[in-house]
Structure 1
Amino acid sequence: MRKGLGSKKFFVRLRFAVCSGEIFKQVWLKQGRPVGRSSYKVMTVGTAAKNSRTITVTYHLTDFSSSGVHNAFGLGININGKIEKSWPSRVNYKYGGVRLPIRKGWGDSGFRHTVYAAAGQGVPDG
């Protein structure tokens, strides 16, 4: 999966999972000229067990690389996930695991975040 990540956002939807990833590249400049490079990947895997109302999102920070003159080790990585759209829109969520937003450092590993929606907030089928 890491090898074919590419440079554009992507989503893979399965019955009880969703995956996404992004590559972040930095070019370090001195007096307007490139002197170094750094990059890293962030991948997320969200899973929900059958008949569960909790989604667990595992964030993977991987493939850190750098060359030349850089300050990658001082680079802060700000991570903030959000639910773009809910149905119905009035659903209230409870969050667990690592709380977002979070700031990670260069070379830090991943973490887990959970989202729970209690029953009784939706509209019955019919």
Structure 2
Amino acid sequence: MKALVIDDSRVMRRIVASTLHPLGFETIEAGDGRAALDVLESGTVVDLCCIDWNMPVMDGLEFVGAVRANRAWRDVTLMMVTTESEHGQIVRALAAGAHEYVIKPFTADAIRDKLQLLGLVQQEEIA
């Protein structure tokens, strides 16, 4: 599976990517929503986008809207990974088409649990 990690912080992109790798994801990184759209427009197929909200050029909410406006990308799972924690912001992101919402700082378990809910990661067998 392939994930596009979108954040203007290189460090945060690496943290999210290093959380996704053990879960079986190959990752691609983009520094803002416009750069991420360029990746999708190039024909790269991704299963998941992890999206920061606050970025220059195109923010995460604008990116979600642009992806949802394109029928070719309707199967892409969108997960906000952001410091925006106000209930109203969460509602706006979900209403725009995001599937899940993770608030920074997050744990690897929180990301895994959300991806399990979305059906992108198998639940681990209880021994």
Give the TM-score of the pair, scaled to structure 2. 0.27
Structure with greater strand percent: 1
Bigger CA radius of gyration? 1
More helix as a share of residues: 2
